[in-house]
């Protein structure tokens, strides 16, 4: 099948220009340009709300060969990334579950892609110079004009993007493959605990895996206050992944600080950063971030090395975590990134909180870290013994 070729261009604020071919919704998009090293899972990456405000470069050279399947989407409403850059867009899509080609999918949702560019050179540039703003265009090819547009795009530092991806109302999560309640209660440790999930841009597979642990999940908007959350009588609170600068999400930090110690809490990615900020720690922006499905992390509690999926541009400064003082045990690092020794997880025993920076739901990625959902259940059951159905 021949691909209709239409001119496209990428311009970074550094002045690097790469010409290629536009696809999807032909237009223009300016945002932070970041790269992901995953070998597969382009649909899950595109629909991850954590990519809001970012144009994603995929290092896997051929993209689109298995098309788009609705079941693989990690959020409703199509892609959340601002654009896509690939080396080669597949001319065909072969998949028994496929419903659209990548080109058709992006076009239907108003998202532009560009292929035919040297993604190896681009990724090397971003590694050396750091993630930066850029613009992809199929309508403007003037270098000076494009560079000005890239420079004018919002800076990720100080940017609250959570409001653009969070849900608008409280709602109950319904898993795709629900299990009858009598089967749930027949399982070992079959208590169905009630979780309130703060939606900062949550991925669907996180919810599916928590549901598989027999949690009943109530989703609430990111702006929900502590009193309203407690009024829902949760057995635990989950702080989700999401986009943007965690330090800018001040309303969520205040809510988490008010909940800390009152109910068991678990956080992933942005949730990890917000929970640390609520305890008084600080965050900083990484040079080019961690995005991909092959990042080694050591669990200090077991000594085990996990291969993890990651997607984050900010990180918690481990040196600023509150340490033990008179009457408290403080926060304790639990996971470390073996590539650059950055913090990947912490816990606070006294306040019954723990969080990880990476994505244990593995969509896409390895399944090494699925135990964390069971660890959350165990933390809750230390307070609510098995055998009592807390959903009633």
Residues in Cβ contact with 159 at an 8 Å cutoff, skipping those fewer than 6 apart = 53, 244, 245, 248
Residues in Cβ contact with 278 at an 8 Å cutoff, skipping those fewer than 6 apart = 253, 254, 256, 257, 260
Residue 86 is encoded by which pair of tokens?
């690939």
CA distance 24 to 114: 8
Is the preceding peptide bond at 364 cis, omega within 30 degrees of 0? yes
- Classified by CATH at the fold level, domain 6-152 comes out as Glucose Oxidase; domain 1 (3.50.30)
Catalytic positions = 269, 359, 361
> In sequence order, what DSSP letters do the residues of 340-359 get, joined into one string?
T--EEEEEETTTTEEEESS-
Q: Report pLDDT for 90.
A: 93
Summarised one tens digit per residue, pLDDT across range 170-200 is 999 999 865 544 454 445 555 689 999 999 9
Torsion, Cα 102 104 106 110, to 10 degrees, reads: 180
Cα–Cα distances (Å) from 176 to 41, 208, 284, 353, in that order, read 19, 8, 37, 29
Closest to 239 measured CA to CA, from 283, 270, 282, 213: 270
Summarised one tens digit per residue, pLDDT across range 217-247 is 999 999 999 999 999 999 999 999 999 999 9
CA distance 64 to 177: 27
For the chain, which ranges sit under pLDDT 50? 180-182, 184-186, 386-392
Residues in Cβ contact with 385 at an 8 Å cutoff, skipping those fewer than 6 apart = none
Q: Report pLDDT for 365.
A: 86
Ordered by start, the domain boundaries in the chain are 6-152, 162-381
Q: Report pLDDT for 189.
A: 52
CA distance 259 to 278: 10
Q: Report pLDDT for 181.
A: 47
CATH of 162-381 among 3.40.50.2000, 3.30.70.260, 3.40.50.880, 3.40.190.10 = 3.40.50.880
CA distance 346 to 383: 20
Q: Report pLDDT for 329.
A: 75
> In sequence order, what DSSP letters do the residues of 183-237 get, joined into one string?
HHHHSTT----EEEEEESS--HHHHHHHHHTT-EEEEEETT--HHHHHHT--SEE
First-to-last C-alpha distance (Å) of the chain: 56
Closest to 75 measured CA to CA, from 194, 219, 193: 219
pTM for this model (two decimals): 0.92
Q: Report pLDDT for 389.
A: 41
Summarised one tens digit per residue, pLDDT across range 117-164 is 999 999 999 999 999 999 999 999 999 999 999 999 999 999 999 999
């Amino acid at each position: 099948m021949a691909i209709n070729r239409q001119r496209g261009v990428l311009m970074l604020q550094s002045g690097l220009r790469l010409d290629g071919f536009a696809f999807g919704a032909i237009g223009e998009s300016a945002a932070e340009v970041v790269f992901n090293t995953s070998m597969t899972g382009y649909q899950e990456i595109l629909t991850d709300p954590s990519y809001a405000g970012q144009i994603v470069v995929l290092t896997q050279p051929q993209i689109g060969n298995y098309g788009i399947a609705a079941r693989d989407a990690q959020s409703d409403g199509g892609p959340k990334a601002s654009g896509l850059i690939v080396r080669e867009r597949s001319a065909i899509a072969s998949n028994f579950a496929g419903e659209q080609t990548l080109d058709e999918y992006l076009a239907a949702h108003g998202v532009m892609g560009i292929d035919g560019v040297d993604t190896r050179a681009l990724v090397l540039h971003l590694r050396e110079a750091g993630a930066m703003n850029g613009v992809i265009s199929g309508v403007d090819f003037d270098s000076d004009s494009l560079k000005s547009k890239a420079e004018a795009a919002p800076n990720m530092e100080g940017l609250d993007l959570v409001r653009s991806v969070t849900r608008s109302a409280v709602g109950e999560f319904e898993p795709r493959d629900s299990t009858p309640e009598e089967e749930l209660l027949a399982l070992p440790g079959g208590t169905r605990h009630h979780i309130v999930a703060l939606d900062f841009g949550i991925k669907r597979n996180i919810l599916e895996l928590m549901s598989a642990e027999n949690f009943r999940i109530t989703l609430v908007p990111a702006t929900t206050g502590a009193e309203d959350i407690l009024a829902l009588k949760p057995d635990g609170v989950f702080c989700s992944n999401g986009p943007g600068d965690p330090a800018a999400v001040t309303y969520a930090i205040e809510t988490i600080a008010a909940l800390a110690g009152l109910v068991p809490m678990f956080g992933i990615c942005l949730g990890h950063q917000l929970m640390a900020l609520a305890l008084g720690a600080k965050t900083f922006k990484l040079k080019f971030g961690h995005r991909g499905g092959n990042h080694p992390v050591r669990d200090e509690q077991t000594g085990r090395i996990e291969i993890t999926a990651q997607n984050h541009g900010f990180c918690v400064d481990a040196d600023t975590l509150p340490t033990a003082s008179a009457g408290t045990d403080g926060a304790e690092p639990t996971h470390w990134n073996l590539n650059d020794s950055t913090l990947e997880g912490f816990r606070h025993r006294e306040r019954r909180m723990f969080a990880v920076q990476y994505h244990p739901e593995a969509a896409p990625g390895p399944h090494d870290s699925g135990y964390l959902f069971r660890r959350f259940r165990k933390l809750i059951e230390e307070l609510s013994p098995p055998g009592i159905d807390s959903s009633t």
